[in-house]
Amino acid sequence: MNIVNASLETWSADTGPVIPTTPLVNFLQTLQETSLKTFGPKNFDPKMYVDLSLKSNLSTTLDAFDKLPRYANGAISVLDLSKFIDDYFEGAGDDLVYADPPDFVPAPDGFLPKVENSQVRAWALEVHSLWKNLSRKVSDSVLNRPEFHTLLPLPGPVVIPGSRFKEVYYWDSYWVIRGLMASKMYATAKSIVTNLISFIDTYGHVLSGSRAYYTSRSQPPLLSAMIHEIYKRTGDLELVRKALPALLKEYQFWNTGIHSVTIQDSQASSHKLSRYYVMWTKPRPESATIDKAFASKILNDSEKQHFYREVASTTESGWDFSTRWMRNTSDITTLSTTSILPVDLNVFVLRMELDIAFFAKVVGDNKTAESFLEASQTRKWAINSVFWNEEKGQWLDYWFDNGATLEECQAWQASNQNHNAYASNYLPLWIDLFNSDTCLVKKVKKSLESSGLVCAVGIATSLINSGNQWDYPNGWAPLQHMIIEGLLRSGSEEARAMAEDIAVRWIRTNYVAYKKTGAMHEKYNVEKCGDFGGGGEYIPQTGFGWSNGVVLALLEEFGWPRDLKIDCQ
């Protein structure tokens, strides 16, 4: 029997401190709600309104807003509200301006040497050229008048995902950087990392994105992995020295207080693991109108606040939204992310432990290196003890008992593992501590083959077609890449063949969709070659940072033979 309790220190489950938003964000939320009433729901994107920047000070803008003529029901006419927005605001995203990347060249030396097919090479160079389109820097107005903006000041240029995502994002940046490595754009990659480190210096963690309304939440912690990739290519010891103190601080963020959970078994062996948990009890500013609509069916105020916390915590996972986090897979108000120990988060923290151990050794800090190597072995044991399911050959998320608080002790039960198939169930393979075990890889590969997740053109996120974007039939570049890379690193010929087969299918669907639409997409429909994904709370996006990065990384690894067709088969 295992016992579960949470290390909450001075935090309580629902009354802990909430990081406040700025007065500008608060007003922009009001503008967002007013705009929905005035303009209607068609093509309405709530994020656009909280990304606006002021032309003059907030008090003047507020005064003008209050003086707008209103109908008896309080509504404002389309003409009046449109004129007000034009008169008092710069456009959403105008505070990030184009930055010409200094290390971009149209055809880098040694670019994708394994790509022999001229058609694929020409396309890969077009994808490579998208880095120029997605490069940005913070405008001088943000640095001079930060109170006019929800965009946060940054020390250097960034690469954005694209479309509505007009700022740098945390976990997206790992796969952007993997693509930048293939494109030989090391300075651009280092600039991204420098910006993310600046968040840790200011806030104690990496923000999910560079907006004032993101300060309370992070995203899957992959900063150490980004730095490791850059170091492998460049040997930049100074970057490692600069990053190590920040990484130690980020490690504390994910392993103490509200993020830390300890599971104790009957032999008094403790397993310390991490979870997603955001100190937030209000609608997300960038999606406030959506959150309020979902919460409208919840009558109790404290239950509404709990729902808002679960929503924010789910966005910290990067998987917003998915049935993976819902007790009732057809009801988003049953999100329970803070009551789940996620497989993938603990894989990322394990990767952080291994990276910190490596960096500490590189800079000569053997004591820290030994400490983090020991921590990685401890977490590996915890991941296998809590998540591994021998019968299924997968690692399964662990749920706390419904209705129980984390201060209570609970008996560990196999039924508390989430037995639904998700791509995240296979992500431990990404770590060498797991993929180096030949027998384990054989078992997990067999499980993946029979799971139903491997579809016509990639790995589905789940098997549940819920209408949420992190569910079937959508496939996402990061999930393809981590599973492919894990299979590849295992050294098994059978696993490598499976990895290459999935990679070919994924590259092919990206290519065909690009030729059809002229764009790279945020996600793809894995059941149909050349079809981009859908679902979720916004229209499908193009650009697209991590999709570009994964295609380039896969082409660098596997290449493309001269006689292999790239069109749909």
Enzyme catalytic residues: 320, 522
Residue 168's nearest CA partner among 551, 528, 543 is: 543
Q: Residue 283 burial (CB < 10 Å; 0-12/13-18/19+)? A: buried
Element at 246 (helix H, strand E): helix 237-255
Cis before residue 473, ω within 30 degrees of 0? yes
All residues at 6 or more sequence positions from 423 whose CB lies less than 8 Å from its CB, including other chains: 453, 459, 460, 461, 462, 476, 479, 483
* CB of 307 closer than 8 Å to CB of 295: yes
Contact 221, 254 (CB under 8 A): yes
- DSSP conformation class of 499: H
d(C-alpha 368, C-alpha 236), whole Å: 20
Q: In terms of Cα–Cα distance, which of 473, 444, 445, 447 is closest to 458?
A: 473
Interacting residues of 49 by C-beta distance below 8 A, sequence separation 6+:
28, 29, 31, 32, 35, 92
Q: What is the 8-class DSSP label of residue 462? A: B
User: Taking a C-beta distance cutoff of 8 angstroms, is the pair 192, 226 a contact?
Assistant: yes
Q: Which of 149, 146, 171 is nearest to 161 (CA)?
A: 171
Q: What is the residue type of 9?
A: E
Q: What is the DSSP string of 439-474?
A: HHHHHHHHHHHHSS-EETTEE-SBS---S-TTSTTE
Omega within 30 of 0 (cis) for the link into 321 = yes
Give the angle 375-173-219 at the CA atoms, nearest 5°. Answer: 55
282 in helix, strand or coil?
A: coil
Q: Are strands 454-455 and 158-159 parallel, antiparallel or unpaired?
A: unpaired
Asked if 271 and 385 touch (Cβ cutoff 8 Å), the reply is yes
- Return the SS3 of 7: coil
Rounded Cα–Cα distance for residues 32 and 70 (Å): 16
Give rounded-to-5 percent helix, strand, coil for the chain: 50, 10, 40
CB 346 within 8 A of CB 259: no
Residue 239 and residue 256: Cα distance in Å, rounded? 26
Work out whether the CA dihedral 411, 414, 419, 423 comes out positive or negative: positive
